[in-house]
Amino acid sequence: MRALCLGLVALSLAACEDIPRKDYDDFRERTARARSEGQDGETGGSLQDLTGRWLLHALLQGGIDLGLIVELEPASEPVEGEIPRVYTSRIWLWRQDIPPVACDAGTPCPNNRTCNSYGTCDSPPLVVTTTTVNDDGTFQLIADPLDLGTEVLNSAEPVKARVIMNSRSTGPDNWCGDAEGSVVSPLTLNLAGSRFSAFRHVPQDWVCKVAVEDGEPRDCVGDEVADNKNYEHVYQALPFKCAAQPGDVEPPAPDMGVAPDGGPTRPAAPDLSAVDSMARDLTGNWLLDAKVNGAIPLQLWLSMIYTAGVDGSANLDGALRSVTASPGTPALATFTTTVGADGRFEIWLPGLSISTDLATVQADILLAGATLPDAICGIAAGQVNQPPLGALTERTTFHAEPWDPTTEVPMGRPFACPAE
Amino acid sequence: MARGTLLLATLCAASPALGNPFSAARYRGLMGTAVDASGFSVYWNPAALGTLEGVHLSLHAGGVHRDASFDRAVEANGETPETAPYNSGEGTTEAWGVVPSIAGSYTLSLGEDFGLGLGAGFYIARAGLANWNRHPEASAAEPGAFDGPQRWGTISTRLVVATPTLAVGLTHKPTGLSLGVAPAFNLVSLSLNRARNPDQSTTLRDVEGRIAEGRILLEDGEAFAVTWVVGARWDVDRDLAFAVTWHQGADYQVEGKSFIQFGTADETTANARFPLQVADSIRLAAKIGVTDWMTLRSEVEWAGWSRMDKQEAVNLDDPDRPVLMRIERAFEDTLAARLRTDFRVAEAVVIHGGLEYETGATPPQTHEPGLAESDSVQIGVGGSFQLSEHLALTTSFIVHEFVDVEVTNSIQGPPQNGLYTDHRQYLTVDLEVTL
Rounded to an integer, the average pLDDT of B269-287 is: 95
Asked if A133 has any chain B CB less than 8 Å from its own CB, the reply is no
Which residues fall within 8 angstroms of residue A312, CB to CB, at 6 or more apart? A279, A340, A341
Predicted confidence at residue A356, as pLDDT, reads 57
Percent of chain B with pLDDT over 90: 72
Query: Do the chains contact at B326 and A156, CB–CB below 8 Å?
Result: yes
Give strand ranges (E) for A356-414.
360-371, 376-386, 390-391, 397-402
Predicted confidence at residue B425, as pLDDT, reads 95
Q: Of A132-141, A155-164, A195-204, B374-383, which gets the smallest average pLDDT?
A: A155-164
Predicted confidence at residue B9, as pLDDT, reads 37
Rounded to an integer, the average pLDDT of B170-192 is: 96
Residue of B nearest to A191 (CA): B265
Rounded to an integer, the average pLDDT of A37-51 is: 68
| Chain A residues lying within 8 Å of B212, measured CB to CB | 62-63
Query: Do the chains contact at B120 and A155, CB–CB below 8 Å?
Result: no
**pLDDT at residue B1 greater than cutoff 50:** no
In our burial notation (b when 16+ CB lie closer than 10 A, e otherwise), range A26-49 reads: bbbebbebbbeebebeeeebebbb
Domain boundaries, chain A: 52-236, 284-402
Give strand ranges (E) for B15-88.
54-72
Residue B244, helix vs strand vs coil: strand
Top pLDDT among A305 and B255 is at: B255
Of the partner residues B143, B157, B318, the one whose CB lies closest to the CB of residue A20: B157
Residue B240, helix vs strand vs coil: strand
Q: Which fold has domain A284-402?
A: Lipocalin (2.40.128)
Alpha helices in A14-97 (DSSP H): 19-30, 32-36
Predicted confidence at residue B413, as pLDDT, reads 86
Query: What does the alpha-carbon distance between residue B293 and residue B239 come to, in Å, rounded to a whole number?
Result: 11
Q: What is the largest CA-CA distance in chain A?
A: 103
Give strand ranges (E) for A258-330.
284-292, 296-308, 314-322
**pLDDT at residue A311 greater than cutoff 50:** yes
Residues 45 to 74 of A: which have CB under 8 A from any B CB?
59, 61-65
Residue B26 burial (CB count, 10 A): 25
| Chain A residues lying within 8 Å of B12, measured CB to CB | 12-13, 15-17
Residue of B nearest to A15 (CA): B12
| Chain A residues lying within 8 Å of B219, measured CB to CB | 20-21
Q: Of A235-249, A332-346, B350-364, B387-401, which gets the smallest average pLDDT?
A: A235-249
Q: Of A188-202, B104-118, B141-155, B330-344, which gets the smallest average pLDDT?
A: A188-202
Rounded to an integer, the average pLDDT of B75-98 is: 90
Asked if B173 has any chain A CB less than 8 Å from its own CB, the reply is no
Predicted confidence at residue A36, as pLDDT, reads 66
Are A214 and A79 within 8 A, CB to CB?
no
Of the partner residues A9, A20, A59, the one whose CB lies closest to the CB of residue B156: A20
Helix axes A2-13, B2-12, angle to 10 degrees: 60
Query: Do the chains contact at B137 and A356, CB–CB below 8 Å?
Result: yes
Query: What does the alpha-carbon distance between residue B200 and residue B214 come to, in Å, rounded to a whole number?
Result: 10
Of the partner residues A17, A157, A296, the one whose CB lies closest to the CB of residue B322: A157
Residue A397 burial (CB count, 10 A): 22
Asked if A82 has any chain B CB less than 8 Å from its own CB, the reply is no
pLDDT band at A2 (very low <50, low <70, confident <90, very high): very low
Query: What is the set of domains in chain B, with CATH numbers?
Result: 2-434 (2.40.160.60)
- Residue among A318, A314, A309, A313 nearest A336 (CA): A318
Asked if B84 has any chain A CB less than 8 Å from its own CB, the reply is no
- Residue among B184, B191, B248 nearest B222 (CA): B191
How far is B238 from chain A, CA to nearest CA, in Å? 34
Superfamily of domain A52-236: Quinohemoprotein amine dehydrogenase alpha subunit, domain 2 (2.40.128.120)
Residue A23, helix vs strand vs coil: helix
Rounded to an integer, the average pLDDT of B338-362 is: 96
Q: How much is the ipTM here?
A: 0.87
Predicted confidence at residue B222, as pLDDT, reads 95
**pLDDT at residue A254 greater than cutoff 70:** no
Predicted confidence at residue A142, as pLDDT, reads 87
Predicted confidence at residue B264, as pLDDT, reads 82
pLDDT band at A244 (very low <50, low <70, confident <90, very high): low
Predicted confidence at residue B57, as pLDDT, reads 97
Report the range out of A204-213, A288-297, B140-149, B173-182 with the highest average pLDDT: B173-182
Of the partner residues A63, A185, A359, the one whose CB lies closest to the CB of residue B203: A63
Asked if B3 has any chain A CB less than 8 Å from its own CB, the reply is no
Count contacts between A and B (CB, < 8 Å).
Answer: 221
Beta bridge partners of B94: B67
Query: Do the chains contact at B322 and A186, CB–CB below 8 Å?
Result: yes
Residues 252 to 281 of A: which have CB under 8 A from any B CB?
none
Query: What does the alpha-carbon distance between residue A178 and residue A197 come to, in Å, rounded to a whole number?
Result: 9
Top pLDDT among B46 and A251 is at: B46
Top pLDDT among A26 and B90 is at: B90
Q: What is the CA radius of gyration of chain B?
A: 23
Asked if B192 has any chain A CB less than 8 Å from its own CB, the reply is yes
Residue B166 burial (CB count, 10 A): 16
Per CATH, A52-236 and A284-402 having the same topology is answered yes
B386-398: per-residue pLDDT in tens?
Answer: 999 999 999 999 9
Rounded to an integer, the average pLDDT of A283-301 is: 84
Of the partner residues B129, B208, B218, the one whose CB lies closest to the CB of residue A59: B208
Query: Do the chains contact at B207 and A63, CB–CB below 8 Å?
Result: yes
Top pLDDT among B285 and A279 is at: B285
Which of A18, A26, A27, A352 should be substituted to probe chain B, the one whose Cβ sees the most B Cβ atoms within 10 Å?
Answer: A27
Query: Do the chains contact at B207 and A185, CB–CB below 8 Å?
Result: no
Residues 302 to 361 of B: which have CB under 8 A from any A CB?
315, 317-318, 320, 322-326
Query: Do the chains contact at B260 and A8, CB–CB below 8 Å?
Result: no
Top pLDDT among A397 and B135 is at: A397
Predicted confidence at residue A303, as pLDDT, reads 86
| Mean pLDDT of chain A, nearest integer | 80
